[in-house]
Amino acid sequence: MNIIYKKILSAKKKGEKLLAVLLDPDKLDLIKVSETFIKINQSQVDFIFIGGSTVKNGITDKFVKEVKKNTTIPLVLFPGDFSQITNKADAILFLTLLSGRNPEYLIEQQIKSVPFLQNSNLEIIPTGYILVDGGVETAVQRVSNTQPISQKKINKITQTACAGMYLGNKLIYLEAGSGAKNSVKPEVVKAVKENINIPLIVGGGIRTKEQLEETYKNGADLVVVGTAFEENNKILNKILKNESIN
């Protein structure tokens, strides 16, 4: 057990940087999964994150099953709520929305997931999730009824990350949100990295190799590419060639 987390820890210790692609079952048709993974399997992707804020009930299970047929890359659930959990994946980010104050996403959804997880083979990775302002209203905001933290409030973001670490989370996930105009700023990534000793995940708004490398340089251990890949599944090649997808 703990294979996924051990890989992340090992990479952090060695200074190796990891990359994940986030796929939303509501945005990628099952019939296009095979075609999509021809491209993903040829790229330097370490994990596939699966989830979304508003995935319809039952779709995740079918989606993960189809994805499993097309790749050996580890599949990690990044669920918007407890209904998106399936035992067909390899691991789950057990999320707490640290940036919000809605009890539904601080503890209620987690409690609702327990009956399933108690009988599951999933590797469970406690993860502190911090939504920062990416320049647009995101699905996370609408669904969770919470507001992102302004990227100008670096101390608040850093203190929130530290609180998440002190609470026992094994990962901190800084997210600008799906469809973000602005990625998490380098100074925010750097400040958080300097104040925590657990792995740092950063996602949202990353569209170029320059942005990717800047995020890594400032302390991200794992970077997630999501909406950009959905809009143009050649994004991985473009990132590697330092081209903009705009």
Q: CB of 161 within 8 A of CB of 190?
A: no
**Where does the pLDDT of residue 245 fall: very low under 50, low under 70, confident under 90, or very high at 90 and above?**
very low
Residue 109 neighbours by CB distance under 10 Å = 20
The reported pTM is: 0.94
How is residue 81 written in tokens?
A: 């709520």
Judge whether 207 and 224 are in contact, CB under 8 Å.
no
User: Which of 228, 184, 222 lies closest to 46, judged by CA?
Assistant: 222
Asked whether the beta carbons of 161 and 172 are under 8 A apart, the reply is yes
Encode pLDDT of 5-55 as tens digits: 999 999 999 999 999 999 999 888 888 899 889 888 988 899 999 999 888
User: Hey, what domains does the chain have and what are their CATH numbers?
Assistant: 3-240 (3.20.20.390)
Cα gap 42→230, rounded to integer Å:
17
What does the radius of gyration of the chain's CA atoms come to, in whole angstroms? Answer: 16
The per-residue pLDDT for range 61-105, each reduced to its tens digit, is 999 999 999 999 999 999 999 999 999 999 999 999 999 999 999
pLDDT tens, position by position, 145-154: 999 999 999 9
